[in-house]
Chain A
C-alpha cells in the first residue's frame, strides 16, 4: 500500500485557480509534496531538475500542451516511467485515445471532485494510505 505523503506530484495547468484547487484536493488526500508549473515547457524543466512520481496535467495550455508534455516525458529516460494523469474537458474526450497511444496512465474530466481525483490516483498507485 502506497503512502499518499510519499508521492511527489507536479501539477501543470495554465490557470492559477485550477492549480490551487488541485493542490488543495491533493492536500486533503494527504499528498503534500506538490509542485506546480504553468505550461508544458515549465513542467518539463521542473521534471528535468527534479523528477516526480506523478504528473497531473491539463491538456489545453500555451507553448507546450498536455499531449506534448506527455510525449516528452515518455521520451526522456529519467522521466519515462512517471505516472501521468491528463485533465480534460468533456469536449476533449477524443484526445484521451491519443493520450493512451502515448502512454497516459489515466485521465480525469473537469470539473471533478476530490474523491474522483483520489480514485484516479489509486487506479495508478493502488490504495492510498
Chain B
C-alpha cells in the first residue's frame, strides 16, 4: 500500500520543481496561470503560478517571461533536457464580470510563450468563469484539475491580489494524463 502523497502548495509568484514519486504540487487558480512542466525522461516536474501585473503591457509580459524562465531554469538545473520538456497550462479564468479580462491575457501569454520557445503543450484548461484547484504529480506529469464551483469567487480574486491560501470547497475532478 502506497503512503499518502506529500502535498506541497504554491501560491502566486512561487514555483517548485520535484522528482519525488510520492509528492504532489497543488495550487488554487483564478485569473492566474500555472504551467506544469515535465521531463518524461527524468521523471522530473515543476509548477509555477503567476499573474501578469498591470494590463499585460511589455513590462507585464516580462514578468510572465521571468516566471516561466524560473521554472525552466529550475528544471534544467535539476538535469532536465530542454528538448524533452512538455507543458500543460491551467487557469486564466474570469472570476468577476466587468473587470478587465486579465485571465485571458495570462492564458494567451502562456500559450504564446510555449509556442515561441518550442515547448510542446500537451493539454490545457484555460479561461471560463470558475476557479480551479490543480494537483500535479511531478514525477509522472499527471495533473488533476478540480473546478471550484461552490466557492465565493471574490475570495479567490482577493487571494490573487494578496497572495494567501484560500479556503475553498471542490467540484468535479478532471484528469490530464501524463
Q: Assuming the A-B contacts A15-B117, A60-B73, are A24 and B66 also in contact, with contact meaning beta carbons closer than 8 angstroms in the complex?
A: no
* A114, CB-defined interface residue at 8 Å: yes
* B58, CB-defined interface residue at 8 Å: yes
List the B side residues contacting A112 at CB < 8 Å: 62
Interface residues of B in 98-127 (CB under 8 A from A): 112-113, 116-117
Contact A18 B59 (CB under 8 A): no
Number of A-B residue pairs having CB atoms within 8 Å of each other in the complex: 46
- A111 touches which of B66, B76, B82, B116 (Cβ 8 Å): B66
The contact size tier of chain B is 10 to 19
* B65, CB-defined interface residue at 8 Å: yes
* A25, CB-defined interface residue at 8 Å: yes
List the A side residues contacting B112 at CB < 8 Å: 17
Contact B59 A111 (CB under 8 A): yes
Complex-state Cα separation, A20 to B64, whole angstroms: 13
List the A side residues contacting B73 at CB < 8 Å: 60, 89
B contact residues vs A (CB 8 Å cutoff): 58-59, 61-63, 65-66, 68-70, 72-73, 76, 82, 112-113, 116-117
